[in-house]
């Protein structure tokens, strides 16, 4: 039932998920920090699985850099956008995208063991409130990436889900519901009965991410806040011209401090980078 809810949620997005990562007031900062971290740790060349990659922003960016990419997602609607976008890029970049297929992060059985040099998983884990699903997804990542390969896994911190609830006038009444609040704060479980909203979510505790993935054979290389210390300042940064040295300096500071433990719990998104041992 949960995965069907997630499909419906993203089916309603249309172009919004593609546009979100380019919007200064929304995901542009997240996109910039995430790409910087990927560039730092991604093998120079290889085969990459982008599971949960939606409309293909990261997959097409990796293909532009010469990586061989397989894009997979639960949402047929998101993948249709990816195919449309793929048709618009140069032939050489297009040739680097091997497949665009529907797949569930909890079941990567269409791919054999050690099939990939790296895996991006930038969405599925914050839609897996069932601990058994998280275990299956982590085990599958460990199976399909080669020993020594690198994984990039996104999480949402628990407080991000609490903060978004407080920000929504028609959702914030839940903060006065002890059972709902306890499920979120104690288990990370986030349910939402408002149609069309984020639901079936999981909020992680930053300090638990490394040990959880270590149990599945990964050595943590870094854990960063994808918005860094600039969380909530996207509008202010978006007001600066792209060639403004102040903007460059600000982004450098955001990237350089993104792994500071004092900001991880209040991030909107966390990015874990690990190596398969």
Per-residue pLDDT tens for 100-147? 999 999 999 999 999 999 999 999 999 999 999 999 999 999 999 999
What is the percentage of the chain residues whose pLDDT exceeds 70?
A: 99
Between these two residues, 16 and 123, which has the higher pLDDT value?
123
Q: To the nearest whole number, what is the mean pLDDT of the chain? A: 93
Per DSSP, helices labelled H in 168-244 are 178-182, 206-214, 234-238
| pTM tops 0.85 | yes
CA–CA gap between residue 101 and residue 230 (Å, rounded): 35
**Helix axis angle, 28-41 to 245-256, nearest 10°:** 60
Of 32, 23, 21, 24, residue with least CA distance to 54: 21
- State which H helix or E strand residue 120 sits in: strand 116-121
Q: What is the pLDDT of residue 24?
A: 78
pLDDT at residue 2 tops 80: no
Between these two residues, 21 and 272, which has the higher pLDDT value?
272
Q: Which domains does the chain have, with CATH numbers?
A: 2-157+202-276 (3.40.50.150)
pLDDT at residue 1 tops 50: no
Q: Which residues, 6+ apart, have CB-to-CB distance to 265 below 8 Å? A: 157, 158, 159, 205, 206
231-242 confidence digits (pLDDT tens): 888 888 878 887
Q: What are phi and psi of 152, to 5 degrees?
A: -120, 110
188-206 confidence digits (pLDDT tens): 999 998 888 888 899 999 9
- Quick one: 5 exposed, middle or buried, by C-beta within 10 A (0-12, 13-18, 19+)? middle
Of 126, 120, 268, residue with least CA distance to 209: 126
Q: What is the pLDDT of residue 206?
A: 97
Q: What are phi and psi of 87, to 5 degrees?
A: -65, -15
Of 80, 36, 82, residue with least CA distance to 63: 82
């Amino acid at each position: 039932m949960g995965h069907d809810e997630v499909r419906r949620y993203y089916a309603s997005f249309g172009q919004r998920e593609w546009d979100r990562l380019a919007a200064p007031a929304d995901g542009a900062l997240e996109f910039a920090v995430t790409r910087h971290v990927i560039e730092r740790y991604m093998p120079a060349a290889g085969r990459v699985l982008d599971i949960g990659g939606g409309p293909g922003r990261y997959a097409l960016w990796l293909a532009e850099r010469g990586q061989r990419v397989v894009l997979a997602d639960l949402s047929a609607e998101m993948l249709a956008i990816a195919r449309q976008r793929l048709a618009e890029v140069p032939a050489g970049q297009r040739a680097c995208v091997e497949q665009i297929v529907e797949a569930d992060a909890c079941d990567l059985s269409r791919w054999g063991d050690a099939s990939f040099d790296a895996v991006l998983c930038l969405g599925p884990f914050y839609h897996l409130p069932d601990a058994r699903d998280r275990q299956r997804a982590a085990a599958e990542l460990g199976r399909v990436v080669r020993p020594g390969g690198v994984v990039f896994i996104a999480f949402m911190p628990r407080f991000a889900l609490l903060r978004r609830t407080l920000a929504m006038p028609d959702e914030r009444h839940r903060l006065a519901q002890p059972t709902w609040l306890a499920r979120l704060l104690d288990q990370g479980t986030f349910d939402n009965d408002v149609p069309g909203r984020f639901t079936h979510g999981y909020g992680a505790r930053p300090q638990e991410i490394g040990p959880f993935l270590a149990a599945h054979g990964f050595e943590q290389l870094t854990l960063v806040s994808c918005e860094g210390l600039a969380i909530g300042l996207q509008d202010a940064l978006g007001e600066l011209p792209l060639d403004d040295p102040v903007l460059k300096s600000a982004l450098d500071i955001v990237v350089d401090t993104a792994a500071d433990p004092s900001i991880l719990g209040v991030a909107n998104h966390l990015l874990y980078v690990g190596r398969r041992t």
